[in-house]
Structure 1
Amino acid sequence: MPLLFSYGTLRDPAVQEANFGRTLPGRDDSIVGYRLDVLEIADAEVVALSGQSHHPILVATGSPADTVDGSVLELTDDELRRADDYEVDDYHRVQVPLVSGGTAWVYVAR
């Protein structure tokens, strides 16, 4: 079962219900070497679903001083594809190490 590190709207139970038809199980965790920035979303469907015109976006810094807190969500392969469809083209999915150990997928700035 894939793991997805979420630091933004995919942590919202309403967004999860709309995208996946359920609330995803998850736990708190962090990643290192990234900082949060803000992205204006032009996709009207994503804005309607999230209720926000600006979403957080991760920018890689490589600095161990930069950490981002979020949630590690457990989802199916099909739900991961649906998450890919939800994220706008300014994001792309990469695997990152978690502070707790192991790895998870995460959406970062292109």
Structure 2
Amino acid sequence: MSDGSGTESLFTYGTLQLPEVQLDTFGHRVEGADEVLSGYRLEWTDVADERVAQLSGLDRHPILRRTDDPNDRVFGRVLHLTPEELDAADEYEVSLYRRAAVVLLSGIRAWVYVAA
């Protein structure tokens, strides 16, 4: 979600935090701030996309499932991306994920990739 400065806030909890994934996806490292998302739980899923698995070094990736239970919390980081960088993140994510709008524990509105 746009923060009014022309950037989009993206809550990341997995491979988009890895330096090699950021360099390939955005062309540079992106600093972020620690954040928490409540009402979701972290699970793991197989990723068949060879490029994504090779880039991350993992054949299983974390994925979020909505529970609406405020006791379920996922810890991650908020990245501030340009609209073009957010498009690049969309391209990196495989069809198992979809982008959704959320409100983080701090009150920040952000995008996040959740189970499709």
Scaled by the length of structure 2, the TM-score of the pair is 0.93
Partner of 2:23: 17
Partner of 1:97: 103
* Structure 1 residue 25, shift from structure 2 partner: 1.9
Q: In structure 1, what is the Cα distance between the partners aligned to 2:37 and 2:53?
A: 26
Aligned residues: 110
Q: Work out which of the residue numbers 59, 70, 74 in structure 2 matches 1:64.
A: 70
2:79 is the alignment partner of 1:73: yes
Runs of 4+ in 1 over 4 A off after TM superposition: none
Q: In structure 2, what is the Cα distance between the partners aligned to 1:23 and 1:74?
A: 11
2:60 is the alignment partner of 1:54: yes
Amino acid at match of 1:65: N
Q: In structure 1, what is the Cα distance between the partners aligned to 2:24 and 2:72?
A: 32
* Structure 1 residue 65, shift from structure 2 partner: 0.8
RMSD: 0.6
Q: Work out which of the residue numbers 33, 37, 46 in structure 2 matches 1:31.
A: 37
* Structure 1 residue 3, shift from structure 2 partner: 0.6
Scaled by the length of structure 1, the TM-score of the pair is 0.98
* Structure 1 residue 14, shift from structure 2 partner: 1.2
Structure 2 residue ranges without an equivalent (≥5): 1-6
Partner of 1:8: 14
Q: In structure 2, what is the Cα distance between the partners aligned to 1:39 and 1:103?
A: 26
Instruction: Give me the identity figure in percent.
Output: 50
Amino acid at match of 1:103: R
